[in-house]
Homo-oligomer: A and B are copies of this chain.
Amino acid sequence: MSITLSTRLRDVSGSAIRDLLALTARPEVISLAGGLPGTDLLPRERIAAALAKAAADPAAIQYGETAGLRPVREVLAARESERIGRAVAPTDVVVTSGSQQALDLVARALLDPGDPVVVEDPVYVGALQVFQAAGAALHAVPVDADGMAVDVLADRLAAGLRPRLVHTVSSFHNPRGATLSAPRRARLAELAERYGFLVVEDDPYGLLAFAGPPAPPVAGFGERVVRLSSASKILAPALRVGWLTGPAPLCAAVERLKQSTDLCTSSLTQLVAAELLADRAFLTAHLDRLRAALRERAAALTGAVAAVFGDAVTCSVPTGGMFCWVEFTDGTRPADLLPAALDRGVGYVPGTAFAVAKDLSAAARLCFASNPPGELHTAVERLGAAWRASAT
């Protein structure tokens, strides 16, 4: 039977990454491709205990309020107030089924087809798909080692660009690994005020800084910001608990749209997330362990890359999060190398998968979060073998 798809869906990029993940799921492949937190680093036993507690409450297996359970919104509002440095009311928080849903709902609540939206280049592929599905007119602004090139954005705005939204993964960028510098954060918030756009600050990795406190959110510099975050990278993806905080009328619109989208997020998993996020002693200790392990993994990966590839590759210096970004300087094209790499048992995502307008054919994203150091060493050795074989 032939099925005619909607015009918009025809415009959405097929996910090269998803196809790739199927290949890297083969047990003999060490995958640096996914954006998966290390399963071994997640607090599974504590989650199991909290689940048991939640399931003992009859109300927790029923439908819940569309915007999220009130006690959950209170915990999230308190945490966001602390992060942002001003009071966020529980009513200015909407709990979503992961922060991906928050992004989708924001786009659908605000965008008409043809509306201009600024995305980063390289871009978070999930954001690209959301804005394509919303029919937005995409404008790419490059990302460098200090995050989005806000000066380039400022030039475009001065030249007349009037986006409705500017999307940024502000800390430990996916895929670039970079963190938006404090001066750029301040300027971005200021530009939002001046030109009347909303910043979508997509911040799932912000608490994963290897050292020192997390960077102050863009939302701390101005009010024209909707912040998205998630329990997926710090507690567990399977909770499917994310959230957004932002201007009250936007939260109301997102809540209305969420009702027809999936009615509500699971009360069971919301209660688990709220319990663990409210338990400061647990959370501090857990995040300390998680960050230390990620730091060790990042060092293992970048050390192995330097040892194997020498100056044939430049590699970002991870300061947090899950990704490092490599660029070959010897003409190697990671998309071309990939089949040989998979044959040798290692997967990664070529930079071209994240390109909007830039030529990223020399780049690749490597995730250091999913595997322990020994596996990361082996993965890079396999990659080196594929690379050397391709050069001959």
Q: List residues of A whose CB falls within 8 A of some B CB.
A: 1-9, 12, 14-15, 18, 34, 36-37, 39-40, 42, 44, 47-48, 51-52, 55-56, 58-64, 66, 96-98, 100-101, 104, 108-112, 126, 129-130, 133, 164, 198, 223-224, 232, 236-240, 247, 249-250, 253, 256-257, 259-269
Contacts and interface: CB of A to CB of B under 8 A. Distances in A.
B61 A56 contact: no
6 tightest Cβ-Cβ pairs between the two chains A and B:
A129-B260, A48-B55, A61-B236, A3-B249, A101-B262, A63-B237
> Counting chain B CB atoms within 10 Å of each CB, which of A9, A58, A133, A238 scores highest?
A238
B250 A266 contact: no
B266 A239 contact: yes
Contacts of A18: 66, 259
B44 A55 contact: yes
Contacts of A257: 9, 12, 133
A12 B260 contact: yes
A109 B9 CA distance: 6
Contacts of A1: 223-224, 247, 249
> Which has the most chain B C-beta neighbours within 10 Å: A3, A48, A100?
A3
A100 B63 CA distance: 12
A39 B61 contact: yes
Contacts of A104: 260-262
Nearest to A96: B262
Given A48-B52, A247-B1, A63 B238 contact: yes
A98 B261 CA distance: 9
A110 B263 contact: no
Contacts of A259: 15, 18, 126, 129
A97 B12 contact: no
B260 A100 contact: yes
B260 A240 contact: no
Contacts of A263: 98, 100, 126, 237
Contact of A238 (B61, B101, B126): B61
Nearest to A10: B253
A2 B198 CA distance: 11
Contacts of A232: 63
9 contacts: A6-B108, A36-B62, A39-B58, A40-B58, A44-B61, A97-B97, A108-B133, A126-B260, A133-B257
Nearest to A48: B55
A42 B58 CA distance: 9
Nearest to A267: B238
A281 B37 CA distance: 38
A112 B7 contact: yes
Most chain B CB inside 10 Å of its own CB: which residue of A66, A164, A266:
A266
B238 A64 contact: yes
Contact of A100 (B6, B249, B262): B262
A20 to B, nearest CB: 13
Contacts of A2: 249
Contacts of A256: 9, 12, 14-15
Contacts of A260: 12, 100, 104, 126, 129-130, 133
